[in-house]
Homo-oligomer: A and B are copies of this chain.
């Protein structure tokens, strides 16, 4: 798969996810300011890579794209809520995201806390909605997978904050990143396997792919934080060093980080070996995670 075909597929599905989320939020009979803040925190032109992972994993088992859209959107809502809370003054104190004021800056911190809570809540409302999947057993399984991933993400955020005051060793950094960023990416692959009713072995391999994809994504992020400009990233570059974050790049340097990144890509590709050309998009995706420039 060429890079431009992949970029097109990413952009197309991001648009579909954005449209789905916009329609879902438009249907909420909630106070105007709350819905505005929820929209601000979720309809932000994100790349929607996690929903794409759900879609492409489900597609391996013949699930039609529109059948995985709601599930991917629920996962994205969890990602969005975490950013809304992450940006708060008491957390990272970020004023800009994707070239726009963050939710607390555009509204106020109290509303940003509540809007984040509501986005997280809405993720589970969406998954438990019969329109998302007709089989309640699948809905319950999706809720279980997403709640586990969402909790692991929070665990990673706590370890990340602890890493600002105490230097983490390599093992602790890998653990923190596998939770903070990796958990939701792995959950994307897992939710696709659930939608596709994958067998035990297929599901295990997709999970392995998801773990590798999460690692590749995070290491690439850490490298970009050092090598890219703020304009390129759409967020403040050099933040990790400024905040004294424990990263593999800080600990081992860029060359070693690139080697680990290449290793993660190789492992992810290996996990897909049992699949044929139907997994080509997942293969292109993990390569893209490693080579992306923003």
**A-side interface residues toward B, CB under 8 Å?**
28, 30-31, 33-34, 81-82, 85, 88-91, 108-111, 113-114, 116-118, 120-122, 124-125, 127-129, 136-137, 139-141, 143-144, 146-148, 150-151, 154-155, 157-159, 161-162
Minimum distance in angstroms from A111 CB to a CB of chain B: 7
Which residue of B has the minimal Cβ distance to A85? B113
User: Does A34 contact B120, Cβ atoms closer than 8 Å?
Assistant: no
Measured between beta carbons, the chain B residues less than 8 angstroms from A111 are 158, 161
Minimum distance in angstroms from A74 CB to a CB of chain B: 11
User: Does A154 contact B90, Cβ atoms closer than 8 Å?
Assistant: no
User: Does B151 contact A121, Cβ atoms closer than 8 Å?
Assistant: yes
Minimum distance in angstroms from A107 CB to a CB of chain B: 10
Number of copies: 2
Measured between beta carbons, the chain B residues less than 8 angstroms from A122 are 147, 151
Of B34, B141, B154, which is within 8 A of A121 by CB? B154
User: Does B90 contact A155, Cβ atoms closer than 8 Å?
Assistant: no
User: Does A144 contact B129, Cβ atoms closer than 8 Å?
Assistant: yes
Pick the most buried of A120, A121, A159: most chain B CB atoms within 10 A of its CB: A121
User: Does A143 contact B117, Cβ atoms closer than 8 Å?
Assistant: no
User: Does A128 contact B147, Cβ atoms closer than 8 Å?
Assistant: yes
Minimum distance in angstroms from A113 CB to a CB of chain B: 6
Q: A125-B148, A155-B30, A162-B33 are known contacts. Are A91 and B120 too (CB-CB below 8 A)?
A: no
Minimum distance in angstroms from A176 CB to a CB of chain B: 9
User: Does A124 contact B137, Cβ atoms closer than 8 Å?
Assistant: no
User: Does B125 contact A144, Cβ atoms closer than 8 Å?
Assistant: yes
Pick the most buried of A117, A150, A155, A162: most chain B CB atoms within 10 A of its CB: A117
User: Does B161 contact A110, Cβ atoms closer than 8 Å?
Assistant: yes
User: Does B129 contact A110, Cβ atoms closer than 8 Å?
Assistant: no
Per the bound structure, the CA–CA distance linking A72 and B148 in Å amounts to 20
User: Does B143 contact A34, Cβ atoms closer than 8 Å?
Assistant: no
User: Does B114 contact A128, Cβ atoms closer than 8 Å?
Assistant: no
User: Does B124 contact A143, Cβ atoms closer than 8 Å?
Assistant: yes
Query: Would you give 30 A-B contacts (Cβ < 8 Å), ordered by A?
Result: A30-B158, A31-B159, A33-B162, A34-B154, A82-B117, A85-B114, A88-B90, A90-B110, A90-B113, A91-B113, A113-B113, A114-B158, A116-B117, A117-B154, A118-B151, A118-B154, A120-B120, A120-B121, A121-B154, A122-B147, A122-B151, A124-B143, A125-B151, A129-B144, A136-B136, A136-B137, A136-B139, A137-B137, A140-B140, A140-B143
